[in-house]
Amino acid sequence: MSLVPIEQRKYRKQVPKEHQHSLDTRIRWLWNQRWGTVQMVWKESRDMLDVTAATLLLQAVMAKDLDSIEQIFQRLEGGALTDEELLDREDEATLRI
């Protein structure tokens, strides 16, 4: 019996440049990645917006916070919203991050 080496794939450590236009584009890219990629971006990325987007996803899912998950879905499905537009919303009392 012989041992055959298996290629080990590593998780990405940052969001690709083509997805770094805004926080929303980073969230959209991270949403479509494996959980390990989101964790590695949170842990290893030097870009603060990458870390912010990863933190938003990690906290929402791990805390099972439905309000935060709803906010993520609004950002994913409702088109890009600037942070200022989110702050100006009167119907939400708190901004969850």
Q: pLDDT grade, residue 97 (50/70/90)?
A: low
Q: What's the rounded Cα separation, in Å, for the pair 32 and 44? A: 19
51: containing domain: 37-82
Task: Extract the tokens encoding 9.
Answer: 């794939």
In a domain? residue 10: no
pTM score, whole prediction: 0.71
- The total number of structural domains that make up the chain: 1
In a domain? residue 26: no
* pLDDT tens for each residue of 31-77: 999 999 999 999 999 999 999 999 999 999 999 998 888 888 888 88
49 with 23: CB under 8 angstroms? Answer: yes
